[in-house]
Amino acid sequence: MATQHYNPNQTLLAQYDAATVVGLGVTGYSAARYLRARGLDVVVIDSREEPPLAGEFSREFPEVVVQFGAFKEEQLEQANLVVASPGIALAEPMLKRAKKKGAHIVGDIELFLQENTQAVIAITGSNGKSTVTSLVGAMCRHAGRQPLVAGNIGTPVLDTLTDSQEYDLAVLELSSFQLETTHHVPAESVAILNISADHMDRYESMGDYVLAKARITRGAKRAVMPKHDEWLAQITNVSQILGFELDEPANDNEFGLIRKSGKRWLAKGSTRLMALRDIPLVGLHNAKNVLSAFALVDFLGLPLEKLVDAVKSFSGLAHRMQTVSTANNIKWVNDSKATNIGATATALSNLEQPLVWIAGGQGKGADFSELKSVVGANIKLLILIGDDAKNIELALDGLLPISHASDMQSAVAQAAASAESGDIVLLSPACASFDMFRSFEHRGDEFSRCVEQLVEVGQ
């Protein structure tokens, strides 16, 4: 039974001499490494019989007790401090029992924020958060700052502290899973970029999902949010809210688009920031991403010309509306990171050219009928792969031509046979990838490989 009780006036590590890490993935490994470096005794448990990192971990930390196999509620019977990996839901019976008995349950982000001494910018949202996090890092770096870019992107955040990495600003991408175990985000600036149905296999309702995202505002000085989102309009616990949208700003705390001298400009209030046409990223949704990035760094007072230069040189991230080939005037676009309906809806609604669309995978309980509103006449063919192919077909039946493919190579071949000069072939799955691939990166890489192979044969 837990005997220690958390005192919010002290840091966690000042109160505990031992911790149990749940989950030995990349985050769990990083957390255990951090805790051992800070002198805590550590136990690691994982529901898998043979976690992929188990051998490496045991060689580095032979003194740490590890317990692998199906979780048992009694495993945390004596735990006072539990560090849960993002992939472990707080609804897990073992964690619920431990919390009821008084254990303090946190994640790696909470541990980082308790030790971090630099200003924090934090970003969440259903879609676009990796792009915005990376762009904010690039803007700050270009303006002479030394930002850490971490969280749900790149190096595990606790490795930064363990390895004594130098930085003067922390730019953190935070998923809803990470926010579940983060109790306070003392940030100068946070953003909730958008909200759309995702992870409905983990959350009981959209309301629960929104509440998880909204945790990012706890302790924040200012929040950047889209102006016309009904879900986010309910968030009022931040003293300053900076709105952004593709319409004209109504005041100096809003970011949007204005038209002057025959051009459209990104603007803060009536102040022009940069010309819309100078953004290298494809699609109006990326204009919103750039607006949110400007809003997030606004408090820093960085030179505008440096920020604009950073945007102009930012080419985007792999697997996010990434053009992987242009051959015979057909553009092949890899949007494999679109693992939910919202991401794919954004992609489809921001492309007006004729499309051949490849989609499908594991739908995570999503309602694919929500895609109906963005299925336009420009979509010539939908090619479906993966476990939820039939469910997508049923949801969109009668709206557009649909075919099925057994694997990515077959899907690309079908797309090539249907696409004509001026078309875009878009991989935007609206689903997770784990039924057929190791990750969304693996799925995107396979798409790119198949496209490259097809283009080479055609030359």
pLDDT by residue for the chain (459 residues), tens only, comes to 444 555 665 778 889 999 999 999 999 999 999 999 999 999 999 999 999 999 999 999 999 999 999 998 889 988 999 999 999 989 899 999 999 999 999 999 999 999 999 999 999 998 889 999 999 999 999 999 999 999 999 889 999 999 999 999 999 999 999 999 999 999 999 999 998 766 667 787 888 888 899 999 999 999 999 998 888 888 888 889 999 999 999 999 999 999 998 899 999 999 999 999 999 887 788 899 999 999 999 999 999 999 999 999 997 888 988 888 989 999 999 999 999 998 899 899 888 789 999 999 999 889 999 999 999 999 999 999 999 999 999 999 999 999 999 999 999 999 999 999 999 999 999 999 999 999 999 999 999 999 999 998 764
Q: How far apart are CA 144 and CA 140, in angstroms?
A: 7
Task: Give the position of tokens 């959209």.
Answer: 206
All CATH 3.90.190.20 domain ranges of the chain, comma separated, are 322-458
| CATH 3.30.360.10 assigned to 322-458 | no
Strand partners, 65: 43
Q: Where in the chain are all domains bearing CATH 3.40.50.720? A: 12-106
Residue 142's pLDDT is what?
Answer: 98
Residue 129 annotated in active site: yes
**Closest to 429 measured CA to CA, from 289, 349, 324, 319:** 319
Give CA–CA dist 37/352, Å, rounded.
53
Catalytic residue from among 116, 127, 152, 194: 152
pLDDT given at position 280: 82
DSSP state, residue 217: G
pLDDT at 408: 98
Amino acid at position 359, single letter: A
pTM of the model: 0.81
Tokens at residue 412, please?
Answer: 């690309």
Q: Which of the following is catalytic: 104, 142, 183, 199?
A: 199
CB contact at 8 A, 210 and 143 = no
d(CA 454, CA 457): 5
Distance between CA atoms of residues 216 and 235, nearest Å: 11
Provide CATH 3.40.1190.10 ranges for the chain: 111-312
Is residue 299 a contact partner of residue 140, using CB atoms and an 8 Å limit? no
Give Cα 189 distance to the centre of its chain: 17
> Active site residue: 104, 116, 127, 129, which one?
129
State yes or no: is 101 an active-site residue.
Answer: no
d(CA 295, CA 176): 21
The residues that bridge with 19 in the sheet, in sequence order, are 42
The helix (run of H) or strand (run of E) holding residue 285 is helix 284-297
What's 12-106's CATH class?
alpha beta
pLDDT confidence of residue 2: 43
Q: What is the pLDDT of residue 11?
A: 79
Catalytic site includes residue 199: yes
Residues with Cβ within 8 Å of residue 9, at least 6 apart in sequence: none
Structure tokens at 67: 């317990």
DSSP per position, 300-315: G---HHHHHHHHHT--
Q: Is 151 exposed, middle or buried (0-12, 13-18, 19+ CB in 10 A)?
A: buried
Q: Hunting for tokens 């990838």 — which residue is that?
A: 433
> Containing H/E element for 15?
helix 12-15
Give the distance, in angstroms, between the CA of residue 384 and the centroid of all CA atoms in the same chain: 24
Give which of 82, 97, 89 is closest to 43, Cα–Cα.
82
> Residue ranges of the alpha helices (H) in 125-279?
129-142, 157-162, 176-180, 206-214
Assigned token pair, 15: 């109160």
CATH code given to domain 111-312? 3.40.1190.10
